[in-house]
Amino acid sequence: MVKSVMLVIASNGFHPIEYSVPKRILEHSGVTITTASDKTGNATAKDGTTTPIDVALDSVSVDDFDAIFFIGGPSALDDLDNKISHDLLKKTAETKKPFGAICISPRILAKAGVVSGKKVTGWNGDGKLQEVLQKYGAIYVGKEVMVDGNIVTAVGPNAAQEFGAKILEVLEKK
């Protein structure tokens, strides 16, 4: 399987486990990973480690990848919950390509309007996820990982392994 997946991380404060575990699973299966962010250069994880950014989100084309997944972390909403991300997600959904998010980032999917009527999970440490999802027409489920069609969402670092495995399963069906 030769597929290309874009993992989107915040330039400052992404969660390293939510990024590295799915990345490793996908690469081990032959998937090409492109790391995108709100800025170019290196992104800094919440633990201080860095990773190179392959491309800035504002120069990404939906045609350049087979799937897109947003990674969580403390800065995900600040850095990635914007028109550029929303437009990219809308175009991805229109093409029926797989997409999703882990941790706090499913809220970005909701605000982009791409999970209306879909079952979604994510980080709910503030107790507001269900409210946010309902506001945008999504259905909150309290599972570690949720797959609804070609959409994969997960709660956080403890679910990173299963998140990566489910992404792979969805890609293999395409």
- Block means of pLDDT (10 residues each) for the chain, 174 residues, are 90 97 97 97 96 96 96 96 98 97 98 98 96 97 97 98 98 89
Domains, the chain, with CATH or none: 4-173 (3.40.50.880)
Give the per-residue pLDDT at 1.
53
Beta bridge partners of 36: 8, 55
State how far the alpha carbon of 54 is from the alpha carbons of 37, 60, 111, 141, in Å.
8, 10, 25, 33
DSSP H stretches of helix in the chain = 16-28, 76-80, 83-94, 106-112, 129-135, 160-173
Two tokens, residue 7: 């993992």
pTM of structure? 0.97
pLDDT of residue 174: 79
Q: Are 154 and 146 in contact (CB under 8 A)?
A: yes
Separation between Cα atoms, residue 125 and residue 133, nearest integer Å: 14
